[in-house]
Structure 1
Amino acid sequence: MIKHRDSIIYSLYGIICLAFILSYAITNIASVLLLAMFFVDKKSGLANKFKSIKRNKIIGLYVAFFVIQLVGLIYTANLDEGLRRVTVLLPLFFLPMVVIAEQKNESYFARLMSVLQFAIPIIFVVLIFIHVFYDDRVISTFVHFTIEEKLGISQFYLVFILILPLYVSYQKILDKNKVLLSSLTFLTTLGTLFILGNKTIIVLLFILVGSYLINNLKNLRKFILSIVALVILGVASFNIPIVKERFVTMFKTMDFDMEVIKTKNSFTVTKNTLEHRILINYLSFNEIIEALPFGVGTGDVEDVLKKQYKEANFKAGILNNFNSHNQYFYEFFKTGLLGGITFIVLLFYLTKRAYHLNNFAFILIIFFALACFIESYLYRQHGVTIFAFIIPLILTHNYNKTHY
């Protein structure tokens, strides 16, 4: 088994990435097997890995962040919910450690990225085909019936797995490597993102492509491709019905007066998700300040939020049991200054390392850091997999230098 360690490790990496879309049970099994494989190694290999763990600040911050969740159990009133939160966050304790400290094989990683480049879009094409032709539903209901009800995952999380084929295809197009196939996977992946129809994802894509354009003003090919990508995004945003409808709904129903937002949401279940997030942050803020410096405890955030929703008669919040929808607020709310600052410092070190070493990881981490302002990613297992596995995996391999 030691002889084939690399092939087993990278196969497990691939299983986690693909199972992320289809089955979280398989993701869990593969993660546990990955942990077991960490210890199936020569003595010298284990010694090197433990040395790496001891001196790596990022691993230390992941562990510290998880330990802070355990500390929050000491003073939480809702211990059952607190234990559920800790269980969801458990991969933060071991997955970054395993992925970062494990010996790297850039050749296997390049092959893994090539497999994901095709496998991920194919999975979504098959899912869309089943939705339209087998379930006999219109494409506009794909997210609700197939993604949310059947697979039990939010489109907010899927964007991070879709970035992989999008980026790999783009790099291969730049390198004139299998241009036709790479163009096909690029457009298929981009089309899937638009079928998901998530406004936030599309806005973030605009920001990222715009940033990439600014950073490549002196590289004519990359500059032109960035312009083309922005044009495609713009045209699609105003012409694909599901995307256009959601943007129009947001702009038409958006108010900027907090009293109007509060009043409107107390009378009816509104559909403006941006307003929902603004109102949740507003209702959370005073509670967060009052709970400092320690927070309300690992299991108490949702109980406090539900109380605030009832007091404000926030109908959509009461009906849908909305969580914080802001990871930064959520950490300060839950475990106070210790949890909130540790989370921000961890993101800072991840960003700093990626900025100097890895463009792919830098894009992924910036995307995650921005998305955390409008979504509590670590509230669900899929978000934990993004933060504990996908980001460390991309961060510790340099695809820019290894792809072929």
Structure 2
Amino acid sequence: MVKIKNIGIVNILLTLILITFVIPPPILNPILLGVLFSFVIIRHFIHKQNINKNNFNKVSFFFVLYFFVLLLSLFYSQDVANGIGVIGRSISFLLIPVIPLFISKEEINLEFIVKAYIYYLCLIFFYLIFVAIYKNIHEGYTLGYIFDKLRGGEIENGKYHYINYWYFVYDKFTSPLNIQPIYLGLFTNLGLIFIFYLKKIKKIKFYYFFLLILGLLVLLTASRWQILIFAINYFIFIIFFLKLRSYKKILLLTSLVSLILIVSIINPVTRTRLKESIIIKENFYKDQFGGTSIRLNKWISATKCISNSPMFGYGVGDGKNKLLEQFKKDKFYLGFYNKFNAHNQYLDTLLYVGVVGLFILLLIFYYSYKYAINNIYMILITNVFSIGFVTESMLNRQWGIISFSFFLIMFSIFVFKKENNLENNF
């Protein structure tokens, strides 16, 4: 274990950036990113260090290019004020690729960073469970109440049978952190990837404990797509990267499926959300949690809108407004009045910057997967975003914008080392 004094300020700041993806208020994350940027720049000029040109790869290049495509689209946007807001939120696409230029690969200790992140996510899980239990007790769902109902006691009006299960799932579960379930699911999936890799290189103790805790955290966020991504990544890891006998692999995969089914059956909220994800015949106004019925309406309208300006889109200022106009034309008033986005980042990109922007976005993923040939955690990290973009417009929110560029750039450049003899580089 590396001594604290040898960790270095850069590693500490990177760890804090990871932690503040999840801890409120959200402004802490970009502030710390700015602190890291300022620190490495100032250190560079004080010590007259060389620029690490090899730390600017093709993933970094296409993020910068994507930013400039967004910037250029401002010139053909009518709503310039809105467009400037989008550009301001996207500045990390330009900022994050620059940071590794002033950091040497030798000073980065990914093992320390990701372990701290995993431990923190476990603390988050127990904190959220504690809050959910506290809220239940506050509403009268004590052990005495539960035992009474198990013995057949009469249920009071307005009360649940045993507990208020809403506090243990989805938005009411994540509300103490003021974060949307989809993003807590995303950040937990990234933590699970690090657990997988640490298991692969035999650098983690109590693997199954951490796997169970973070697996439950993903399931309790009840983000359907993030649960699917967890299952896909777990399948890939078990089948292709973990050296076990076939019967053990089958047992582990069966255990995951069983865990998902048990959590889904126990909690009515999760059951309803899973049901909505596979039923598309219901009218969208019957859809309680924004499932497939609503998404199909969004995607159909977005596709119609894109067809009128496919090559360059409508610009960062007007893309959302054009979609809302299409919602109104299609009489999808729920989407119009709630100002929904396309709920698909690939469609959103086409709306803003057309085929040109989408091509650059796909190149980011292409090179992320290419750099993952000898780097299994990059395969799984890239999966989180490339698959997640299918049902979420992640680049409309700070959580998605910063995490997308941060994880793909930093983890495609810096790698895990078996030996970490770090010096304090300040």
Q: How many aligned positions are there?
A: 385
1:381 and 2:398 equivalent?
Answer: yes
Structure with higher helix content: 1
- Give the alignment's Cα RMSD to 1 decimal: 2.8
User: Which moves more between the two structures, 70-79 or 98-107?
Assistant: 98-107
Where in structure 2 are the equivalents of 1:3-402 lying within 5 Å? 7-23=8-24, 24-42=26-44, 46-49=49-52, 51-52=53-54, 56-99=57-100, 102-105=103-106, 108-134=109-135, 136=138, 138-141=164-167, 142-147=169-174, 149-173=175-199, 179=205, 181-216=206-241, 219-220=243-244, 226-240=249-263, 241-242=266-267, 243-251=270-278, 253-255=279-281, 264-265=283-284, 271=289, 273-354=291-372, 356-399=373-416, 401=418
Judge conservation of contact 1:143–1:155 (CA < 8 Å) in 2.
yes
- Give me the TM-score of the superposition, normalised by structure 2: 0.81
Structure 1 residues 107 and 349, CA gap change in structure 2 (3 angstroms): closer
- Give me the TM-score of the superposition, normalised by structure 1: 0.85
Judge conservation of contact 1:100–1:393 (CA < 8 Å) in 2.
no
Structure 1 residues 343 and 249, CA gap change in structure 2 (3 angstroms): closer
Q: Which runs of 5+ in 2 are unaligned?
A: 140-163, 422-426
Structure 1 residues 172 and 68, CA gap change in structure 2 (3 angstroms): closer
Q: Deviations over 1:15-55 (max 9, x none)?
A: 11111111221111110011112213356864333x346x6
Q: How many angstroms apart in 2 are the aligned matches of 1:106 and 1:46?
A: 13
Structure 1 residues 7 and 107, CA gap change in structure 2 (3 angstroms): same
Q: Which runs of 5+ in 1 are unaligned?
A: 256-260
User: How much does 1:173 deviate?
Assistant: 4.7
User: How much does 1:207 deviate?
Assistant: 2.2
Q: Deviations over 1:203-226 (max 9, x none)?
A: 222222333344248x325x5564
Judge conservation of contact 1:121–1:165 (CA < 8 Å) in 2.
no
Q: How many angstroms apart in 2 are the aligned matches of 1:73 and 1:5?
A: 46
User: Residue in 2 aligned with 1:258?
Assistant: none
Q: Deviations over 1:44-89 (max 9, x none)?
A: 864333x346x63222211111011111111112112111111111
User: How much does 1:347 deviate?
Assistant: 1.4
Q: How many angstroms apart in 2 are the aligned matches of 1:380 and 1:5?
A: 35
Identity %: 20
Greater relative contact order, per chain length (Cα 8 Å cut-off, separation 6+): 2
The letter of the residue matching 1:282 is: I
Q: Deviations over 1:207-256 (max 9, x none)?
A: 22333344248x325x55643442222112222133333223433x323x
Structure 1 residues 178 and 38, CA gap change in structure 2 (3 angstroms): closer
State the secondary structure of the residue aligned to 2:8. Answer: helix
Q: How many angstroms apart in 2 are the aligned matches of 1:175 and 1:403?
A: 14
Structure 1 residues 140 and 393, CA gap change in structure 2 (3 angstroms): farther
User: How much does 1:396 deviate?
Assistant: 2.3
State the secondary structure of the residue aligned to 1:48. Answer: coil
Structure 1 residues 298 and 212, CA gap change in structure 2 (3 angstroms): same
State the secondary structure of the residue aligned to 1:357. Answer: coil
User: Residue in 1 aligned with 2:145?
Assistant: none
Judge conservation of contact 1:117–1:164 (CA < 8 Å) in 2.
no
Structure 1 residues 178 and 52, CA gap change in structure 2 (3 angstroms): closer
User: Which moves more between the two structures, 298-307 or 230-239?
Assistant: 230-239
Q: How many angstroms apart in 1 are the aligned matches of 2:87 and 2:419?
A: 37
Q: How many angstroms apart in 2 are the aligned matches of 1:320 and 1:64?
A: 32
Q: How many angstroms apart in 2 are the aligned matches of 1:27 and 1:311?
A: 39
Structure 1 residues 25 and 34, CA gap change in structure 2 (3 angstroms): same
Q: How many angstroms apart in 2 are the aligned matches of 1:172 and 1:56?
A: 25
User: How much does 1:174 deviate?
Assistant: 5.3
Q: How many angstroms apart in 2 are the aligned matches of 1:5 and 1:45?
A: 21
Structure 1 residues 305 and 132, CA gap change in structure 2 (3 angstroms): farther
